[in-house]
Amino acid sequence: MDFYRVLSRFYDEIFPLSAECSRFVAGHAGRTLLDAGCGTGELVLELQGRGVDARGFDLDEGMILSAASTAAKRGLPGNDLFKIADLRRVKESYPSVSFDAVSCLGNTLVHIPFDKQFHFLQDIREMLNPGGVLVLQIINYNTVVHDRVPFPVIETEHCLFTRDYAAADDEKELLFHTELEVKETGEIYRNTITHYPLYPETLMASLSMAGFSGWETYGSYRGEIAGEGRLPLIVTALRD
């Protein structure tokens, strides 16, 4: 069975939407928000409940089907709120639409090559309303690569989930290894993909060149300082 098809079954259990995350994003959302790489759509649905006109997209069909199904069960138009789309062609999927905020969380941005990351930032800047905000969360690669702080093992009622990085042939890239063990059956699913890590200094330069300003960095959704051994790097940036 495809790794991501299995992962979609346990995604919300492994990566539950935290109250801190939903409050943080809601505080920057304005009236309209697009969640890029929305997974199973929990953030979009939470923001809808807070009165935000939120939408989301993901490249994985299983995630989007799950998101649309959950929305329908809650009496929301799942097929309107969610779509299958690619970070690399986001403007094609949302032509002539603008938003007060765009979120891109869960280390999603580093799944696409470096040049495409910059194009995504440029596209998002153009899709934001004047004064709009980008809320971005990736891994702090200074912490992972330079400080060698490991990812914690995630154990839930039904599974074990582990992650680690290894150097790729291209020194600028990393191989991201994941393993999902389903407790009930003992089945183990493994996956390796290439990540294109954005280090903090490179990210800030990219944001500036893409036309963002006034950024703030955080090490958690509680507003703690970035760095200092913290795995997340959370950034808010304003459209110039």
Average pLDDT, the chain: 94
pLDDT band at 1 (very low <50, low <70, confident <90, very high): low
Residue 8 has pLDDT above 90, yes or no: no
Query: What are the residue ranges spanned by the domains of the chain?
Result: 3-142+198-239, 143-195
Distances (CA, A) of 44 to 34, 58, 87: 8, 12, 17
Given CATH 2.20.25, say whether it is the number of domain 143-195: yes
Instruction: Express as a percent the part of the chain with pLDDT over 70.
Output: 100
Phi and psi, residue 203, nearest 5°: -60, -45
The pLDDT assigned to 4 comes to: 86
> Nearest Cα to 104, choosing from 189, 28, 182, 193?
28
Let me know: does 226 contact 217? Beta carbons within 8 Å.
yes
Where are the alpha helices (H) located in 27-163, listed in sequence order?
42-49, 61-73, 78-81, 90-93, 114-127, 141
pLDDT single digits (tens) 195-209: 999 999 999 999 999
**Which CATH architecture is the domain 3-142+198-239 placed in?**
3-Layer(aba) Sandwich (3.40)
Distances (CA, A) of 84 to 33, 36, 56, 64: 17, 10, 9, 6
Task: Give all strands (DSSP E) within the chain, no chain letters.
Answer: 32-36, 53-58, 82-84, 99-104, 128-139, 154-155, 159-167, 174-182, 188-195, 212-218, 232-239
pLDDT single digits (tens) 54-108: 999 999 998 999 999 999 999 999 889 999 999 999 999 999 889 999 999 999 9
